[in-house]
């Protein structure tokens, strides 16, 4: 096998390595926390907090209503117990009881309103929990798939790297160094010759260049310097 062909094969392996490395980088970049899941978790946390606050308000109101009920019962006990003879005192107690009943009615309305809000907030929390579950399931299966893809790419890469090592060990060190240098300078070190033209720079080869390439000797394009390879 000519050196040019050996180097061309090395180049093919290098192209494969670069492409697998890029794919791996892309896959690895998609591994990890999902923005959608994080957003849903944050929404759930704030909805749960809101629900807790509403429940707290509801309990406080219920407690206040109960407390007023006890106070009203005590006053009514006095009113109807027959122990108050003074009509002014009686009227005062009656007025106080009426005021408390009015207040209790208002608080009961407010409690109903809060209970309604609690119900809606609880429903919203349930919806978000279901949505989050779906997102987490999707995310988990995606992560699983991505991990498998990453493993596959790693094994492809290690296979290619072994192949590269084997190929380069079969080529003269000087040639490998020339290849590396050209690769660094031009991106691709080896250019195919097609229809008498260097595919690297698209300039036609001279007659003597063509002949050297055909004879299998290592030839660099006189225009771009790439190693010429005739397939
Ligand atoms: Zn060229």
135-175 pLDDT per residue, tens: 999 999 999 999 999 999 999 999 999 999 999 999 999 99
pLDDT number for residue 1? 83
- The b/e string for 53-80 (b: 16+ C-beta within 10 A; e otherwise) is ebbeebeebeebbeebeeebeebeeebe
Model pTM greater than 0.75?
no
Q: How confident is the model at residue 50 (pLDDT cuts 50, 70, 90)?
A: very high
Whether residue 10 contacts residue 230, with contact meaning beta carbons closer than 8 Å, is answered with no
Average pLDDT over the chain, rounded to whole?
A: 95
What is the tens place of the pLDDT at every residue in 64-107? 999 999 999 999 998 888 888 888 998 999 999 999 999 999 99
**Could you write out the three-class secondary structure of 94-152?**
HHHHHHHHHHHHHHHHHHHHHHHHHHHHHHHHHHHHHHHHHHHHHHHHHHHHHHHHHHH
Ligand 1 center from residue 75 Cα (angstroms)? 108
pLDDT at 216 over 90: no
State yes or no: pLDDT of 178 exceeds 90.
yes
Measured in angstroms, how far is the CA atom of residue 200 from the centroid of ligand 1?
5
Q: Report the separation in Å between the CA atom of 230 and the middle of ligand 1, taken as the mean of its atom positions.
A: 13
Distance 218 CA to ligand 1 centre (A): 14
């Amino acid at each position: 096998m000519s050196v040019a062909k050996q180097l061309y094969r090395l180049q093919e392996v290098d192209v494969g390595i670069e492409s697998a490395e890029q794919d791996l980088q892309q896959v690895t970049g998609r591994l990890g926390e999902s923005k959608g899941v994080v957003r849903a978790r944050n929404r759930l946390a704030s909805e749960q907090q809101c629900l807790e606050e509403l429940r707290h308000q509801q309990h406080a109101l219920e407690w206040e209503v109960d407390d007023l009920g006890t106070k009203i019962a005590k006053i009514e006990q006095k009113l109807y117990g027959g122990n108050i003879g003074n009509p002014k005192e009686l009227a005062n107690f009656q007025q106080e009881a009426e005021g408390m009943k009015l207040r209790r009615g208002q608080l009961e309305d407010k409690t109903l309103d809060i209970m309604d809000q609690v119900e809606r907030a609880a429903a919203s929390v349930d919806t978000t929990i279901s949505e989050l579950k779906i997102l987490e399931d999707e995310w988990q299966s995606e992560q699983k798939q991505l991990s498998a893809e990453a493993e596959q790419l790693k094994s492809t890469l290690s296979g290619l790297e072994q192949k590269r090592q084997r190929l380069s060990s079969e080529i003269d060190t000087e040639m490998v160094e020339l290849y590396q240098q050209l690769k660094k300078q031009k991106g691709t070190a080896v250019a195919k010759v097609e229809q008498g033209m260097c595919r690297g720079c698209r300039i036609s080869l001279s007659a003597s260049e063509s002949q050297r390439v055909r004879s299998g000797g290592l030839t660099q394009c006189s225009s771009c310097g790439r190693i010429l390879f005739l397939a």
